[in-house]
Structure 1
Amino acid sequence: MVVPLIACLTAPAALAEDASAGPHRSSAERLGMGKPVARVVELPYDGAGQAKDAAQPGPKQAPASPETTRRRSLEAAQSRGSHSYVDTSKVPLDGHGRVDKRALRSDTPPTGWGSQPPAEAKECLDRPAAESMAGETYSRWIWCQKHQMGVVYAWVDGDGRAHDLGTAAMKLHTVTVGNGQARGVRTYIQVQSVTYDPEFSLDPEIAVRIMQWEQEVSKLKSYILAECVQTSTYCQSSPGAVEHSWKEWDSRPTQEWLFWDTHSREEASSADDKVLFHQWHLRIGGSGGAYTYRPGVSADRTIRCDSATYFSLFGVPYNKACINYDVVPHLQYKISDSRVTSVARHIRHAQNDPGNTYPAIGYKVIPGKYTGKWDNLGLTRVLGGSATHQNNVAEKDRACKRLPPYETNGLPEAPKPGEDCDEYPFATTEQGAASPYWDFSVRAVPSSENQSAGGLLGWYYFRDRILTAQDPFWVDIQD
């Protein structure tokens, strides 16, 4: 069952009131002495470990620059071990090395949202990393997390000391799904269960208050919503908060999903491809009883939205999109994939032993190797047919045919009939053969394998929404 969004509440009064608490006052002063108070906490999904006070919502803001956000997101992804990849061995090809239309049925970006997340969300939630504080990145299009958020109810005595009375918490499944044809993401939340955890105290007064809390907690209310961190000039999330008593939350069917949409405003961007980065988070608070509530938010998650016009598949345009961005993106080729074996071996050799590749110039630095970490050696895409692409192809051909300046150190023997001259880094990257800053490698490979590898590279650009010039990616060669 899906909660009808028309029945969802606008943000309750507590949502407006609790934002007024200033961040520079002490907790006791902010919450009040000699009265009951409540604060939001995050808890491990399995219940093992200590609750942690959730961050408090700050004022809406303008987005950071794309360069700053890109660096921060990649650094965060590295620290969390979050990555997005396309295993090309699973992508069907036709007899000419082009992606087969069968791929449309299983692995294309989402282009619309339903009342519940796509089937891949279950696979994402079943992964162990989904229970981590960072969640799990299934792909650039799907992120998920199993987590708990709750409210700790307390009494602040006349000396300003807070005595916790108990915690009411919700186990949540959260899934964020991007869109390959619209500038937005949808965040789904499913409440799995509600728990009440009273504290214990030998202090008679606090013990009485704990008993009173146990009697009233199910009637107290909590609200939740997903919201964009930036101002409405840049992005907008809707609908508003959904609020229920803890008893009502606990009685709802576990298969129902709530959802919120975050949309990016194209007109607010002056960057290439109209790129905007946004952060979103869950916001939780409460109301009811005599408590003064302090809301809390989950960790910020970064999305990137663009209006690039160079993405299409079988004639279908994908001119706008939003993806989950807190990942280290990489392409996978497998040596065991007979369609690309020779190309994969060439790339591995170029990455691991560049000094022994052609052109034979001695010491070389060839970028793009995936190590599981973000570094400054990523590859950046250029469009096929662009001047950079054409220059890369021309430089590669000179090295393959021993034309100047490669008369003495180019490929010893030109490719035979049925072979192509393969180059790495790819000709469709800024780091290709004509780059004045990086070295490259060439090798003769079967033409069919070179065509297959090129088709799979084009699929990767599409599937992981790799933008030109501003979206570094890495290459992972597996056995």
Structure 2
Amino acid sequence: MAASVVLTVGLTVSALPSAAADASQLSRKEKATATGKDQPHEDLTPAEREVIDVTMAPRDWEALGKKKATRAGNTLPAPRSAPGSDISPEAGARQDEEAGLQHPGHIAQPSDYDEDAAEEWPDSDEDDEGARAPSGGLGKSPVQSLSKQCLAESQAKTKHGNIFHRFLFCRDSKVRFRYFTPTPYGKFYRGKVDATQRTVSQASKGKNGIRFHRAYTQFVAGSISYSFRLPIDQVRAEYIKLGSRSTCQQGPRVCDVSGSGFQGQEIKDWKRERPWRSQWFYQDITNKPGTSKGRDQLVYHKWRVEWTTWGTLFPIVPLRRHVSEYRQLRCHTVYNKYGSSEAQDGCAFSEKPLMMPYSLSNSETKEAVEHIEQAVTMPDTTYPLSAPPGTDNPPRKEIPGVWGVGPRAPLHRLQIMDPRRAANESHKDQACEQRGRYAKTGIPPAKQPGSGQDCDEYPFQSTLEGASNREWDFSVKAIKSDHNQKAGGALGKFFTKNVVLPWDDNLLAPANERFWVHFVR
């Protein structure tokens, strides 16, 4: 079910004589209805919508449409930013887990990490006649194909919205505006506007020198309808403006919003069907590394969208607006990608759990994936054994890293040159060859790799939880070489596509990037 919000904006103005004339045309029963006593949640429940009422003097209604509308991009000024506290990497990571595990959004599929199937942000809008996009690969409109996939998922119609993947968020919110005029009988109900407010946000991921995400907003053309009691109001309604803006909770010391006023246009313009690229307003939310921590200069910030209604010739003061729930981003500057000294700046919707998808039905990686499944679901059947054969009551093995299975603890990537990778390799080799510390518990000679086989290990050699980790157990098994290599290649693509940051010893464990394996059947 779509999340619905009725917006109630209040404007306190004194009643004018002509308001009584409007009300005098109504019967006693109509007056009761007009003043809101029986009005108007006829199709709503309190849990579905929240109302924003717009109370306007009659002169404001008469002014609608009399003066040529200002250009579509007219904005209301932004109020002064409220100061906020910084989010530490540790606190940000905890909030990631709380929100992300409750609302994981799109579950990644293996095809998401195929080289040909994974879509990068284009250098130009796909239907913008070849115009160059702004820095960071983000255009004047969101990437159409991925945005439509995101919006098609049921999560997009909830109050939380849909974190489709690490770099794309979307939400559709049903909105109702109700409009009133003060009269001697109370507030005279004039009518309502229903619409769907749409937000799509893309996070930057490139060598642009700026850490930001771009929030695109619109009121969906086909969703806008209105109903007013008086015929003249039905005509004037087309000149009412609907608009949105983005805000950052922490204020300018941590993040800035470009063009931070409300951006919108009149209903008659919103209702026009136009090409995808010309339907949107956008604002950039830039994250500042000055308050960062750790090797990768991590900064967390919270962002949301607000929306309201106003007129070309009448401001709504005080301005009251509906606000969406905050979504959290983590921004970073990576200097160590593949040993390069060149910085990789970007942001990600970090609330979404990172899951590496492996298909149990993929014939090209089948033996590698089956090994992971066995290691987590039946760890005591794997090598190395937890104790030499014949030991009474050997301890049970615990192997982490698979979503919803076993200990459910996550994995953490290691840097390519991290010495713990070499230690993992050493432990794996000893267990595979039944020597060293695993001389009595490793793979027996009859089950060791033969021609065309590799000795596969899980957790992965590239993770902190690998074979040398003292807190967790591990598994080794002889599998087909090509299965092992293709499964490893998929993991490498997953790290690259999602900008999975390696473990940083300078940060507490909760602040380090974590991921899970997710089985796809």
TM range (shorter): 0.7 to 0.9
Q: Distance in 1 between matches of 2:300 and 2:257?
A: 14
Which moves more between the two structures, 178-187 or 122-131?
122-131
Give 1:273 shift: 0.2
Secondary structure at 2:334 match in 1:
coil
Report what 1:223 is aligned to: 243
Q: Distance in 2 between matches of 1:168 and 1:89?
A: 42
Give 1:383 shift: 1.4
Q: Distance in 2 between matches of 1:359 and 1:324?
A: 38
Alpha-carbon contact 1:89-1:337 (below 8 Å) kept: no
Secondary structure at 1:405 match in 2:
helix
Amino acid at match of 2:162: E
Alpha-carbon contact 1:312-1:318 (below 8 Å) kept: no
Secondary structure at 1:351 match in 2:
helix
Q: Distance in 2 between matches of 1:370 and 1:392?
A: 22
Report what 2:376 is aligned to: 351
Deviations 1:186-217 (A, max 9, x none): 1112321333356xxxxxxxx9xx89976765
Alpha-carbon contact 2:203-2:348 (below 8 Å) kept: yes
How do 1:204-353 residues align onto structure 2 when only pairs under 5 Å count?
A: 217-244=237-264, 246-255=266-275, 256-287=279-310, 288=314, 292-311=318-337, 319-353=344-378
Give 1:360 shift: 1.1
Report what 2:101 is aligned to: 78
Q: Distance in 2 between matches of 1:135 and 1:444?
A: 44
Report what 1:442 is aligned to: 476
The TM-score, its normalising length taken from structure 1, stands at 0.76
Deviations 1:337-383 (A, max 9, x none): 2221111010000111112111111401111111299x960111111
Which moves more between the two structures, 413-422 or 323-332?
413-422
Q: Distance in 1 between matches of 2:431 and 2:398?
A: 17
Alpha-carbon contact 2:113-2:497 (below 8 Å) kept: no
Give 1:463 shift: 0.9
Deviations 1:440-476 (A, max 9, x none): 1111112222121111111101111111121111102
Unpaired segments ≥5 residues, structure 1: 1-26, 37-45, 93-102, 199-206
Report what 2:125 is aligned to: none
Deviations 1:230-279 (A, max 9, x none): 21111111123345564344344444211111111123313330111111
Report what 1:366 is aligned to: 399
Sort the Cα spacing of 1:84 and 1:157 in 2 relative to 1 into closer, same or farther, 3 A: farther
Q: Distance in 2 between matches of 1:153 and 1:73?
A: 39
Secondary structure at 1:328 match in 2:
coil
Sort the Cα spacing of 1:53 and 1:352 in 2 relative to 1 into closer, same or farther, 3 A: farther
The TM-score, its normalising length taken from structure 2, stands at 0.71
Secondary structure at 2:200 match in 1:
strand
1:88 aligns with 2:120: no
Alpha-carbon contact 1:33-1:158 (below 8 Å) kept: no
Amino acid at match of 1:394: S
- Which of residues 435, 441, 456 in structure 2 aligns to 1:403? 435
Deviations 1:64-121 (A, max 9, x none): 2112122212221222242553x335655xxxxxxxxxx2674346650111111311
- Which of residues 200, 211, 214 in structure 2 aligns to 1:186? 214
1:65 aligns with 2:88: yes
Q: Distance in 1 between matches of 2:243 and 2:218?
A: 14
Amino acid at match of 1:121: S
Q: Distance in 2 between matches of 1:300 and 1:350?
A: 38
1:130 aligns with 2:153: no
Counting matched residue pairs gives 418
Amino acid at match of 1:370: W
Sort the Cα spacing of 1:211 and 1:132 in 2 relative to 1 into closer, same or farther, 3 A: same
Q: Distance in 2 between matches of 1:109 and 1:419?
A: 39
Alpha-carbon contact 2:81-2:252 (below 8 Å) kept: no
Q: Distance in 2 between matches of 1:452 and 1:366?
A: 22
Amino acid at match of 1:473: F
Sequence identity (%):
25
How do 1:102-141 residues align onto structure 2 when only pairs under 5 Å count?
A: 103=115, 106-108=118-120, 111-118=136-143, 119-141=145-167
Q: Distance in 2 between matches of 1:88 and 1:251?
A: 39
Report what 1:393 is aligned to: 425
Q: Distance in 2 between matches of 1:157 and 1:127?
A: 45
Sort the Cα spacing of 1:53 and 1:47 in 2 relative to 1 into closer, same or farther, 3 A: closer
1:151 aligns with 2:177: yes
Sort the Cα spacing of 1:155 and 1:425 in 2 relative to 1 into closer, same or farther, 3 A: farther
How do 1:451-466 residues align onto structure 2 when only pairs under 5 Å count?
A: 451-466=485-500
Secondary structure at 2:441 match in 1:
coil
Report what 1:173 is aligned to: 198
Q: Distance in 1 between matches of 2:187 and 2:81?
A: 23
Give 1:176 shift: 0.8
Amino acid at match of 1:475: V
Secondary structure at 1:273 match in 2:
coil
Larger Rg: 2
Report what 2:48 is aligned to: 50
Deviations 1:138-186 (A, max 9, x none): 2211111222334344578999x98876443432332111121141111
Sort the Cα spacing of 1:422 and 1:227 in 2 relative to 1 into closer, same or farther, 3 A: same
Amino acid at match of 1:230: Q
Q: Distance in 2 between matches of 1:430 and 1:53?
A: 50
Amino acid at match of 2:297: K
Report what 1:196 is aligned to: 226
Sort the Cα spacing of 1:33 and 1:89 in 2 relative to 1 into closer, same or farther, 3 A: closer
Secondary structure at 2:363 match in 1:
coil
Which moves more between the two structures, 263-272 or 396-405?
263-272
The CA RMSD over aligned residues, in Å, is: 3.6
Alpha-carbon contact 1:84-1:327 (below 8 Å) kept: no
Which moves more between the two structures, 339-348 or 401-410?
401-410
Secondary structure at 2:420 match in 1:
helix
Q: Distance in 2 between matches of 1:88 and 1:105?
A: 10
Which moves more between the two structures, 128-137 or 468-477?
128-137
Unpaired segments ≥5 residues, structure 2: 1-7, 17-42, 53-78, 123-135, 387-394, 504-511
Alpha-carbon contact 2:113-2:494 (below 8 Å) kept: no
Q: Distance in 2 between matches of 1:471 and 1:221?
A: 43
